Amino acid sequence: MTNKTDTLTDRQLVEKVLTGDTSAFATIIKNTEALVAQIVFKMVDNIEDRKDLAQDIYLKAYKNLPGFRFGSKFSTWIAQVSYNTCLDYLRKKKLVLQDTVHDDGDEDLPGINNKYSLELNVGADKDIFRKELSGILKTEIDRLPVIYKTLITLYHNEEMSYDEIAQITQLPEGTLKNYLFRARKALKNSLLQHYKKEDL
């Protein structure tokens, strides 16, 4: 059964919330919680804290909704609130947002590259390989520093633009691109190391 607020635009939903319609705010939560979950899951490991933070994010959004002037997409604004809330949490817990990524270099990898590309092209095993790759990649993404895994998820999984991510994180676009480059390189090297270990 569809709610009467389900088909409204973000602007209409916000206006309804501002007139005291809390069901419109429930629709806003349902529309945006997937994006909020991406940010919270990537930035916070503790399950209970995630629950508290998710609520905190929407309570902050509700409180500050009168100040939202649609200068950006509503989802970007909610994502910004989420990112800032998680950032505050990390600061309070004295956790590190950006850690160094161990760069193994690529000197000894050409042979592995060829082996790897060979595996990618095996037609019959493609699905199995993709599933395996997906699992390994999930683990490797989780091992990345918080800022890297957040950026790589927003860019490649949520398909957000540099401009949107820059608004959310308040990072200059150059820094953003640099972090994404490093994150992809780290993931590539981790994958190659993984396959190298399996080969041994």
Q: Contact residues for other proteins (CB under 8 A)?
A: 20-22, 25-26, 29-30, 33-34, 37-38, 41, 50-51, 54-55, 58-60, 62-64, 66-67, 84, 106, 110, 113-114, 116-117, 120, 130, 133-134, 137-138, 141, 152-153, 156-157, 159, 181, 184-185, 187-188, 191-192
**Calpha distance 141→190 (Å, rounded):** 10
For other proteins, give the closer residue by CB, 7 or 117.
Answer: 117
Shortest gap between Cβ of 119 and other proteins (angstroms)?
A: 10
- The type of residue at 184 is R
Shortest gap between Cβ of 153 and other proteins (angstroms)?
A: 8
For other proteins, give the closer residue by CB, 72 or 84.
Answer: 84
**Calpha distance 159→191 (Å, rounded):** 22
- What residue has token string 């190659």? 192
| Half-sphere exposure for 153 (CA within 13 Å, toward CB) | 24
Shortest gap between Cβ of 116 and other proteins (angstroms)?
A: 6
Shortest gap between Cβ of 73 and other proteins (angstroms)?
A: 18
Query: What 8-state DSSP symbol labels residue 69?
Result: -
- What residue has token string 């806003």? 28
Cα radius of gyration rounded to whole Å, the chain: 20
For other proteins, give the closer residue by CB, 138 or 197.
Answer: 138
Shortest gap between Cβ of 145 and other proteins (angstroms)?
A: 16
Query: What 8-state DSSP symbol labels residue 157?
Result: I
**Calpha distance 195→146 (Å, rounded):** 24
Shortest gap between Cβ of 23 and other proteins (angstroms)?
A: 8
For other proteins, give the closer residue by CB, 98 or 113.
Answer: 113
**Calpha distance 131→8 (Å, rounded):** 38
Whether 152 and 141 have beta carbons less than 8 Å apart is answered as yes
For other proteins, give the closer residue by CB, 34 or 96.
Answer: 34
For other proteins, give the closer residue by CB, 90 or 137.
Answer: 137
Query: What 8-state DSSP symbol labels residue 108?
Result: T
